[in-house]
Amino acid sequence: MKDQPLIDTALKAELSALYSAGDRHYHNLAHIEAMLALAGDYRAQLGDPEAVEAAIWFHDAIYDSKAKGNEARSAALAEEKLAGRTDADRLSRISAMILATATHQLPRFDDAAATRDASLFLDMDLSILGAAPDAFDAYERAVRREYDWVEEPMWRAGRGAVLKDFLARPHIFHTEEFRQRFEPQARLNMARSLEALAMG
């Protein structure tokens, strides 16, 4: 089973089609490619780089801004598509990483390497928060377009609550590497965004 890659060319094509849907303005292939690039940067620190890559490919595979449970549905799709390509333990680790993107709280693993992989994976997913201001602003606009069905007052309240939740955490990022690289800018970006939301 180990000889077969977790994510082969056919599966990449299938997932790429999902990420290329017209209503995806941020949760699209560019987001996946950005995360894969970060996984490349930190590959030497990953215990199971292929499992992290699989989690990246699947974590937003199902994305409907009007639905709850996208993460659970994406994890279920990963379990279905990867069944037979790897062992059950590894599959459950991949699934747990995907599910964790709902709250960005670390899943509980007994294995330190698995915890470390999940920490880096979740940090990669949030790295856009610590991007340069222009890139962060483009991200905010793209997410707003994905929720264009939400009326402005509701959007401001909902988005504001999400940003406040992250800002209230002792750390936005789980790993020291990402805290150093992205945390100061992430806090500046989100504080600025909150200010803009409050001004209406």
User: pLDDT tens digits for 120-167?
Assistant: 999 999 999 999 999 999 999 999 999 999 999 999 999 999 999 999
Q: What is the pLDDT of residue 164?
A: 96
Q: How many CA atoms lie within 13 A of 157 on its CB side?
A: 5
pLDDT mean over 81-88: 95
- H helices present in 7-66, as ranges: 9-19, 29-41, 49-58
* pLDDT-based confidence at residue 1 (cuts at 50, 70, 90): very low
Q: What is the pLDDT of residue 5?
A: 87
Q: Could you report the per-residue pLDDT of 103-125, keeping only the tens digit for each?
A: 999 999 999 999 999 999 999 99
* pLDDT-based confidence at residue 4 (cuts at 50, 70, 90): confident
**In angstroms, rounded to a whole number, what is the distance separating the alpha carbons of residues 184 and 200?**
25
Give the chain's mean pLDDT: 96
Q: Could you report the per-residue pLDDT of 47-76, keeping only the tens digit for each?
A: 999 999 999 999 999 999 999 999 999 999
Token pair of 171 as six digits: 């750390």
Q: Would the CA dihedral through 43, 31, 185, 183 be positive or negative? A: negative
pLDDT mean over 30-48: 97
Q: Say if residue 2's pLDDT is above 70.
A: no
Q: Say if residue 22's pLDDT is above 50.
A: yes
Q: What is the pLDDT of residue 3?
A: 58
Closest CA to 57 of 21, 114, 14, 24: 14
